[in-house]
Chains A and B, each alone.
Chain A
Amino acid sequence: MRYFGDDVQGKTMPADGGATDKIIYSAPIGDEVKTTTCYMCACRCGIRVHLKDGRVRYIEGNPNHPVNKGVLCGKGSAGIMTQYSPARLQAPLKRVGPRGSGEYAEISWDEAIETATGWLKHVRETDPKKLAFFTGRDQSQSLTGFWAAQFGTPNFAAHGGFCSVNMAAGGLYTIGGSFWEFGEPDWENAKYLMIFGVAEDHDSNPIKTGLASMKGRGSKIVSVNPVRTGYSAIADEWVGIRPGTDGLFIMALIHELIRTDQVDGEFLARYTNAPWLVVRNPGGADDGLFARDADGKPLAWDRARGAIPADDVTLSAVLVGDFTLPDGRAAKPVFNLMAERYLGDEYAPEAVAERCGFPAERIRRLAAEIADVAFNQTLTLDIPWTDVWGRKHDKMVGRPVAFHAMRGISAHSNGMHTCRALHILQMVLGAVDTPGSWRYKSPFPRPIPPGPGPAGKGAKPNTPLAGNILAFTHGPDDLLVEDDGTPLRIDHSFSWEAPLGLHGMMHSVIGHAAAGDPYKIDTLFMFMANMAWNSAMNPLETIRCLTAQEENGDYVIPHVIYSDAYFSETVPYADLILPDTTYLERWDAISILDRPIGSSHGPGDAIRQPVVKPDRNVRPFQEVLIELGARLGLPAFVKEDGSPRFKDYPDYIVNHQRTPGVGPLAGWRGEDGSKKGVGEPNQDQLQRYIDNGCFWRHHLAPEESYFKHANRTYLDNAKAMGMMGNANQIVMQIWSEPLQKFRLAAEGHGAKQPPENLRERVRTYCDPLPFWYAPLEQQQHDTDPYPFSAVTQRPMAMYHSWGSMNAWLRQIHGSNKLYMSRERGTAEGLAQDDWVWVESRSGRVKAQLSLMEGVNRDTVWTWNAIGKRAGAWMLSPDAAESQRGFLLNHVISEWLPAQTGPRLANADPVTGQAAWYDLRVKVTKVAPGEEGVTDPYPTMLEPPPHMPEAIDILRYDAGGKTS
């Protein structure tokens, strides 16, 4: 230790407090530092956790980590308060009073696991699908999904269905990648970025860093977003679009580009299915399918040779024309069909302008700007590369226009087509995985669609399902439906209601289970999913379903098991609580089998290691799951003699092999740790990760870093590393044949056809080319009384974080208001801080108003998931979160407006994505005397036993005298 004052070359310090102020300049931060991976959101940054006297002194970004490179956001930096939250559950609990009463008895882990085993064993021995296993904000889906398949239930998903499956499906069925974990702008080279959608993004820190670097280079950033907050705040241009019309805007841009002939025809001919021939046979079973040769290869029209296999390197493709196939059928190239659609008058800027909320001239200007950058400011990198046809190129030429989309465009019932349209816009510009454009993140691109259909048919007692439960339908045969079209899954995913329900439909599980639609379940097993509050549409109805009883008094959902680290609003509705550890107390694998931390620079994955010992009677959920697997005798979790195969989660991470040589982690495989991607388990693997800062990253060579979909070097290496099954070119799909197959079924072809009440819906929405339609909910009720679109986003300091009860973050956002355009609010006679009713077709919620400039004038919005139920999360009942915080969820219906036939989820008709942002509301001032407290205001929740005493003042000082 040294005191700075002594060092100033003999100068006497002034005789002030500085002379006696004891500043310890070089105190070590802590007595120990450990690396791990952050879990304050989904970004999965590398962190260095400094410990002092066993407590967390300081969490900082790991400078060597590829995701965050040393920075750490507002959430990650507040991790200490999540670690030491008084809302942490203390011990396993058994419900002893009615559901919702909060009457619990603490039990031992033995009893907890025996209880769970008892219930689950019975289900597995009788009818495994009666287990619904849904895992909210799960970052271990490669384990949980595998466990569910081993159990034998098709009823598994995480929260993707209510988050962003439209984006995932739209991308994976179109370009073999997507935004978020699947792709990112070329931050180093892009000259123009158009970013869509409200809300934040999984890629929290890379986007912030990337935007800053683009701004530093003077690149233009355009934000298309109803609300000018967050990233939109720093955009060079803000396009305040009306929610749900992004697709229209995108298709109008495509219209303009084609109309003005600013299209990258070569890119389309080489890398997309634009030249492929589509059979034109209206009413026929082959209408809209690709013309193929005898080997099943799609055909294209060669100027000289007519129909030849589309992958022929010598193809001289004609993209427009009506052609007759050798077998006499009529066919048309995909490009022709696409151009016809988007040149249609309905997609002309004039036609869409009013709906989108800005003038047609602006759309034309933006189209011209984009085209100018793409075609007049091409970016050339002197990097030789080899294409899939074996041809060598001496440079990489790019279109430096990048697109990115956040959750906003996804959470609509027209979101899948919107996302697909955005990818088509990228293709038209030739701006997919080229220098300066949007780029795939390894391990993407993947084949389109990426793999076989979902497992779940023929579930039998005591039998695992073969394959992945969440996978990719290629056509009606892959659907999980009975012969009469009845869904096999409790959430109706992969049924005619959501044929591309890749991520499941967690938002409809509890409603369907309570209604026994299509069957009753025995056990609902959830992890980290606040379904009795902010994760549910219409939470009060969800609570009713969780507490619904049969005439004999039994609960309609007989058993509810819930695992969470904190006393969330869902805890009181479970019969058995398995308290989880915090993210700093456990092992985890950010697995390449799930959503790893790869980037455009190469594949990567990461681990968490325990850095703090739990001070409560809690166990990591994944470890409990592995033990349950062993007790239930799930084949992959027991040895031949029936004894547990894995002693704990780390053992599983290292030694589990999904296929020979492929396990949860891709780094340091092989006995000596020398192999990447594929290799035998390495007993030293976790230590190698720890030595490297808890992550692994493989760096792509320059020659394989762009055009990955058609880059011979990349594809060969990706196959060798086990990232894909073959090294074929990944041809981007403008025309989606799987969607056309569903449409054909709806038109009466094939053995599997939709039930009558869904036939027209499937025919309409399974369109092989993206189109725009008004969101379903808005089509189906009179929106005139509800003039505003209403959307939510989580604030940047809380996005995707589990637990906004964090003592520091709740000071930043302890309550939320409803934001409205100042101009509009003033016109409606509303003033800042007025209390208002926000009313939709299905209910109303009371909130306080805030007026602002940067919001579309037909849109209101609020910060989500700040409002809490009184008593939950160990906040006192008078806390602002329950008094002035409110959830818009209360006025979002989980079902589409009443109609004949079965009730349908308020969701995208193709993917089942929850349509949170289709909401329409009216806003009126409350009656005098109604101000002050939000409504609905459900009864206060009682805390479980032995939770910590409330404190009036927190003096956190790790290692200090006051800690």
Chain B
Amino acid sequence: MTSLPEALPGAKKLGLVIDLDTCVGCQACATNCKEWNTSGHMAPLPDHNPYSAGQEGVWFNRVHSYEAGEGEEGRTVHFPRSCMHCETPACVTVCPTGASYKRAEDGIVLVNTDICIGCQLCAWACPYGAREFDDDAGVMKKCTLCVDRIYNETIPEERRVPACVSTCPAQARHFGDLGDPNSDVSKLVADRGGYGLMPELDYKPVNRYLPPRLAPKADAGPPRDAGPLPSQITNPLLRWVDKVLSR
């Protein structure tokens, strides 16, 4: 059934930690995800009108750009958005067929496209827009957390991470077990005040976002060691006349 699985003892909560402080919006995660997955577990990720008006396709990862705050005090923030692999994902519980499911052993939320009827109710139920409807195949698709990479024994162990993580040039994406408080990702989240999106909806998203680090407010006061004011110096070069610089 599409009820959520009972938590297995010690089961993992695999997810992503996205560092908004270093993401420069290069779209590497988006296109690398696309190239991995279009020939991957949920293949293909079709593109409509690929060379004409109204080009749009199935993407598991999309990068928004926002501005937060006003003028110079604000920040431009690049914001990748994909499935949060929630602990209580309504996209799973609303599914009438069981196609949408959450894995007990690692928490990955997947769609079995062989039985999905394409009712799209899961898309309505997902607050984060993680559901991607493939209307060519008539079924729902979504981020698999690269389930066909992370356990793939043909890939070197250190590269067994989602494609978006392995390709990110800005080290803005991390992958790991957020259920284990001692994992690297959990420590990173704790150190940096990582947060989940829209906690008020209580989906318990597993993915975490690390907030942009804000620089301390610029001190507009006079600089330290400012030296004499221009009015006090008739010729600053005079100080150099007697200075001798040896090699």
Assess whether B200 is interfacial by the CB under 8 Å rule: no
Given that A77-B32, A959-B39 are known contacts, is A853 also in contact with B70, CB under 8 Å in the complex?
yes
The chain B residue with its CB closest to the CB of A263 is B240
16 more contacts with CB within 8 A, not counting A60-B167, A76-B28, A204-B169, are A11-B104, A22-B114, A25-B147, A72-B167, A74-B27, A77-B32, A212-B22, A215-B22, A237-B215, A809-B31, A880-B53, A954-B46, A954-B47, A956-B44, A956-B47, A960-B43
The chain A residue with its CB closest to the CB of B240 is A320
| Nearest CB in chain B: distance from A886 CB, A | 16
Measuring CB to CB, which residues of chain B are less than 8 angstroms from any residue of chain A?
Answer: 1-3, 5, 8, 19, 21-32, 34-36, 38-39, 41, 43-53, 55-57, 59, 65, 67, 69-72, 74-78, 97-101, 103-105, 110-112, 114-116, 136, 147-148, 151-156, 158-159, 163, 166-172, 212-213, 215, 218-220, 222-227, 230, 233, 236-241, 243-247
Given that A362-B218, A812-B27, A878-B52 are known contacts, is A853 also in contact with B71, CB under 8 Å in the complex?
yes
| Nearest CB in chain A: distance from B147 CB, A | 6
Q: Are B52 and A77 in contact (CB under 8 A)?
A: no
| Nearest CB in chain A: distance from B124 CB, A | 18
Assess whether A548 is interfacial by the CB under 8 Å rule: no
Assess whether A228 is interfacial by the CB under 8 Å rule: yes
Given that A74-B27, A348-B230 are known contacts, is A208 also in contact with B1, CB under 8 Å in the complex?
no
Contacts of B245 in A (CB 8 A): 265-266, 268-269, 275, 316-319
Task: Give the distance in Å from the alpha carbon of A303 to the alpha carbon of B245 in the complex.
Answer: 9
The chain A residue with its CB closest to the CB of B149 is A29
Contact with B along A209-242 (1 / 0, CB 8 A): 1011101100010000000111111101110100
Given that A230-B25, A957-B39 are known contacts, is A805 also in contact with B74, CB under 8 Å in the complex?
no
Contacts of B26 in A (CB 8 A): 73-74, 204, 208, 796-797
- Interface positions, chain A 74-106, Cβ under 8 Å from B, are 74-78, 80, 86
Contacts of A18 in B (CB 8 A): 101, 103, 110, 112
Q: Are A77 and B31 in contact (CB under 8 A)?
A: yes
Given that A336-B237, A959-B39 are known contacts, is A233 also in contact with B75, CB under 8 Å in the complex?
yes
- Interface positions, chain A 343-373, Cβ under 8 Å from B, are 343, 348, 361-362, 364-365, 367-369, 371-372
| Nearest CB in chain B: distance from A275 CB, A | 7
| Nearest CB in chain B: distance from A797 CB, A | 4
Contacts of A28 in B (CB 8 A): 154
CB-defined A-B contacts under 8 Å, sample of 18: A17-B114, A17-B115, A17-B116, A18-B112, A24-B148, A26-B154, A27-B148, A77-B32, A212-B22, A220-B215, A259-B236, A269-B247, A313-B247, A368-B223, A797-B27, A811-B59, A880-B53, A959-B39
The chain B residue with its CB closest to the CB of A63 is B159
Measuring CB to CB, which residues of chain A are less than 8 angstroms from any residue of chain B?
Answer: 4, 8, 11, 13-18, 20-29, 52, 57-61, 63, 68, 70-78, 80, 86, 204-205, 208-209, 211-213, 215-216, 220, 228-234, 236-238, 240, 258-262, 265-266, 268-270, 275, 303, 313-321, 335-336, 339-340, 343, 348, 361-362, 364-365, 367-369, 371-372, 389, 796-797, 805, 807-812, 814, 823, 852-854, 874-876, 878-880, 883, 950-960, 962-963
Contacts of B99 in A (CB 8 A): 17
Given that A74-B31, A233-B76 are known contacts, is A260 also in contact with B225, CB under 8 Å in the complex?
yes
Q: Are B218 and A234 in contact (CB under 8 A)?
A: no
Q: Are A314 and B247 in contact (CB under 8 A)?
A: yes
Q: Are B23 and A234 in contact (CB under 8 A)?
A: yes
Q: Are A212 and B172 in contact (CB under 8 A)?
A: yes
Contacts of B3 in A (CB 8 A): 14
Task: Give the distance in Å from the alpha carbon of A24 to the alpha carbon of B147 in the complex.
Answer: 9
Given that A880-B53, A953-B46 are known contacts, is A368 also in contact with B224, CB under 8 Å in the complex?
yes
Task: Give the distance in Å from the alpha carbon of A32 to the alpha carbon of B159 in the complex.
Answer: 17
Given that A853-B70, A956-B38 are known contacts, is A215 also in contact with B31, CB under 8 Å in the complex?
no
Q: Are B48 and A339 in contact (CB under 8 A)?
A: no
Task: Give the distance in Å from the alpha carbon of A269 to the alpha carbon of B230 in the complex.
Answer: 26
Query: Which 8 pairs show the lowest CB-CB distances between chains A and B?
Result: A368-B223, A17-B112, A74-B27, A260-B227, A876-B52, A269-B245, A233-B76, A77-B32
Residue from A63, A265, A853 with most neighbouring chain B CB atoms (10 Å): A853
Given that A4-B151, A220-B215 are known contacts, is A853 also in contact with B74, CB under 8 Å in the complex?
yes
Q: Are A811 and B57 in contact (CB under 8 A)?
A: yes
Task: Give the distance in Å from the alpha carbon of A265 to the alpha carbon of B245 in the complex.
Answer: 7
Q: Are B8 and A20 in contact (CB under 8 A)?
A: no
Q: Are A59 and B170 in contact (CB under 8 A)?
A: no
Q: Are A807 and B50 in contact (CB under 8 A)?
A: yes
Q: Are A962 and B44 in contact (CB under 8 A)?
A: yes
Contacts of A812 in B (CB 8 A): 27, 30-31
Contacts of B27 in A (CB 8 A): 73-74, 796-797, 809, 812
Task: Give the distance in Å from the alpha carbon of A852 to the alpha carbon of B36 in the complex.
Answer: 34
- One of B32, B78, B213 near A60 (C-beta < 8 A): B32
Task: Give the distance in Å from the alpha carbon of A441 to the alpha carbon of B85 in the complex.
Answer: 43
Contacts of B38 in A (CB 8 A): 956-957
Q: Are B28 and A74 in contact (CB under 8 A)?
A: yes
Task: Give the distance in Å from the alpha carbon of A250 to the alpha carbon of B49 in the complex.
Answer: 48
Task: Give the distance in Å from the alpha carbon of A796 to the alpha carbon of B136 in the complex.
Answer: 30
Given that A20-B114, A71-B28, A261-B239 are known contacts, is A956 also in contact with B39, CB under 8 Å in the complex?
yes
Task: Give the distance in Å from the alpha carbon of A220 to the alpha carbon of B5 in the complex.
Answer: 46
- One of B1, B78, B233 near A16 (C-beta < 8 A): B1
Task: Give the distance in Å from the alpha carbon of A189 to the alpha carbon of B30 in the complex.
Answer: 31
| Nearest CB in chain A: distance from B122 CB, A | 12
- One of A268, A270, A810, A963 near B55 (C-beta < 8 A): A810
Given that A21-B112, A318-B244 are known contacts, is A950 also in contact with B52, CB under 8 Å in the complex?
yes
Given that A86-B51, A234-B24, A808-B34 are known contacts, is A265 also in contact with B243, CB under 8 Å in the complex?
yes
Contacts of A71 in B (CB 8 A): 28, 166-169
The chain A residue with its CB closest to the CB of B51 is A875
| Nearest CB in chain B: distance from A239 CB, A | 8
The chain B residue with its CB closest to the CB of A57 is B39
Residue from A8, A77, A236 with most neighbouring chain B CB atoms (10 Å): A77
Q: Are A951 and B44 in contact (CB under 8 A)?
A: no
Q: Are A365 and B47 in contact (CB under 8 A)?
A: no
Q: Are A879 and B67 in contact (CB under 8 A)?
A: no
Q: Are A21 and B53 in contact (CB under 8 A)?
A: no
Contacts of A369 in B (CB 8 A): 223
The chain B residue with its CB closest to the CB of A267 is B245
Task: Give the distance in Å from the alpha carbon of A814 to the alpha carbon of B56 in the complex.
Answer: 10
Contacts of B52 in A (CB 8 A): 875-876, 878-879, 950, 952
The chain A residue with its CB closest to the CB of B75 is A233
| Nearest CB in chain B: distance from A85 CB, A | 8
Residue from B2, B49, B69, B77 with most neighbouring chain A CB atoms (10 Å): B49
Contacts of A236 in B (CB 8 A): 213, 215
Contacts of B224 in A (CB 8 A): 368, 372
- One of B170, B226, B240, B247 near A211 (C-beta < 8 A): B170
Q: Are B69 and A814 in contact (CB under 8 A)?
A: no
Q: Are B233 and A270 in contact (CB under 8 A)?
A: no
The chain A residue with its CB closest to the CB of B156 is A63
- One of B77, B105, B230 near A4 (C-beta < 8 A): B105
Contacts of B36 in A (CB 8 A): 58
The chain A residue with its CB closest to the CB of B144 is A23
| Nearest CB in chain A: distance from B5 CB, A | 5
Q: Are B151 and A26 in contact (CB under 8 A)?
A: yes
The chain A residue with its CB closest to the CB of B43 is A957
Q: Are A233 and B30 in contact (CB under 8 A)?
A: no
